[in-house]
Structure 1
Amino acid sequence: MRSFYKLIYAILWPFFNLVHPNRAIGREHIPEGAVLVCGNHTALSDPLLLAFAFGWEQQVRPMAKAELLQVPVIGWVLKHVGVFGVERGRSDVVAIKQAMTYLKAGEKVLIYPEGTRVRASRGDHSDPKMGAAMLAVRCGVPILPVFIPEKKRWFRRTPVVIGEAYMPKVETRKGTQEEYEAITADLMERIRALEAQAV
């Protein structure tokens, strides 16, 4: 699967770099091994911008809505580059187990805590979920906050700001709902704080 990922990366990167180039800020913060990548989500292009900012040698496995993987051809390609689906609106045990499997195998998993695209420009309300906090705690992996601006201009570089990875702190081994809520709130603050570097 990793070879196919590199192949698709090599095919898409020249075109995407022409029409939607990115500027990675903080790439040195990407840790080796397993990490839960969490960012804001405002456009369909966000996962691609992030993947190209990380570089082809750092494969990222995004969690995406299950409907995308059911689209003919596109769904097949997405599955084979490491994207895995989640049924939104309910607790998807299969998706959670898949994410845990990847993390325990030392992979980098991308999750958007807000669960969907949230655009401040149109008055969207952020409603972050606790899934990312739970995964990081249960798998014992660090969280890597990432910020991508909502406004993306064609043929101009979009900054992808990569923050510092950190381990979420809990008093109990598996964490409590209150701890997950606190971790989620702290994570969203860290993501928003990165906006200041997106200049």
Structure 2
Amino acid sequence: MSEETAVKSEKKTKETPEQRKKRMDWFFHLLYIIVWPYFRLIHPVYAVGRENIPDGPAVICPNHTTAGDPFYAVFAFGYRWPMRAMAKVQIMRVPFIGWILSKAGVFGVDRDTTDVRAVRTAMKFLKEGDKLLMFPEGTRVHDGEDVQAKVGAALFATRTGVPLLPVYIQRKKRRFRRNTVVIGKPYYPEYEGRKPSSEELQVMAQDLMDRVQALGEGVG
């Protein structure tokens, strides 16, 4: 095969953003259907504020206390709203699990480094109109712990012009009883100049977590 023919063949097989979105949505819905019955029975989700979910792209920002929080967020939004998700890179290295998650739009981030590839992937999804699920705290936070919010969500929102969507997931999960997820109103963080300074990003990050915590007042 000549070099010219190889290039033409590669162009023909390369996915367009629309094709990639369709494929990832298909795998997302497949995983949704497989996992949903278990959660519906063992960890039923009670969603509040679904009317606040925007039609277009947004950075979905829940608090994070248990390993199952991504599922609580996904099932609170429902089958209609596929989303991409940022997960720690160790999960994506698990055989088969990492592969199937990547097919559904989950991508890994190395929290110990400045993961430029993960940043580019996140912004690419947002620019292509997808919803991005990420936890602003960066890790699970247990009762009594005080963790400074990371600036990633604010950075992605301001770089791509999409809103932040605060979400509160009930901290103490209960089996066979409803677990509440509150979806807040989307908003655009404000800043001066062409792009926010590092100080402004940190203020945005803290404001975001304050909004998330406010949603949980009286929930538990």
TM range (shorter): over 0.9
Counterpart of 2:6?
Answer: none
**1:63 pairs with one of 62, 66, 86:** 86
Task: Show structure 2 runs of 5+ residues with no match.
Answer: 1-23
2:101 pairs with one of 78, 83, 88: 78
Verify the 8 A CA contact 1:161 1:197 in the aligned structure 2. Answer: no
Distance across 2 between alignment mates of 1:82 and 1:198: 30
Map 1:113-192; keep pairs closer than 5 Å: 113-120=136-143, 123-192=144-213
Give the alignment partner of residue 8 of structure 1, picking from 20, 25, 31. 31
Using structure 1 for the length normalisation, give the TM-score.
Answer: 0.96
- What is the CA distance between 1:62 and its match in structure 2? 1.2
Kindly state the Cα deviation for residue 89 of structure 1 after the two structures are TM-superposed: 2.1
Using the alignment, how far apart are the partners of 2:30 and 2:156 within structure 1? 29
The one of 122, 130, 149 equivalent to 1:99 is: 122
In 2, the alpha carbon distance for the partners of 1:131 and 1:117 equals 16
In 1, Cα distance between equivalents of 2:35 and 2:209 = 30
**Aligned residues of 2:149 and 2:205 also touching (Cα < 8 A):** yes
Match of 1:112 in 2: 135
User: What are the Cα deviations for residues 2-41 of structure 1, in whole angstroms up to 9, with x where unaligned?
Assistant: 1121111111111211001100000100001100011110
Shift of 1:99: 0.3
Identify the match of residue 36 of structure 1 among 59, 78, 82.
Answer: 59
Compute the displacement of 1:125 (Å). Answer: 2.3
The residue type equivalent to 1:92 in the other structure is D
- Taking only aligned residues, the RMSD between alpha carbons, in angstroms, comes to 1.1
Q: Distance in 1 between matches of 2:126 and 2:112?
A: 23
Query: What are structure 1's unaligned runs of at least 5 residues?
Result: none
Q: Provide the residue aligned with 1:48 in structure 2.
A: 71
Letter in 2 for 1:181: Q
Letter in 1 for 2:202: E
Q: In the aligned structure 1, how far is the partner of 2:134 from the partner of 2:194?
A: 22
Q: Separation in 1 of the partners of 2:218 and 2:62? A: 14
Larger of the two Rg values belongs to structure: 2
Amino acid at match of 2:152: G
SS at 2:140's partner residue? coil
Is contact 1:69–1:75 with CA below 8 Å preserved after alignment? yes
CA contact (8 A) 2:148 2:206 kept: no
Contact 1:24 1:53 in 2 (8 A): yes
Q: What letter is aligned with 1:70?
A: R
One-letter identity of the residue aligned with 1:108: K
Shift of the alpha carbon at 1:155? Answer: 0.8
Q: Following superposition, which runs of at least 4 residues in structure 1 exceed 2 angstroms of deviation? A: none
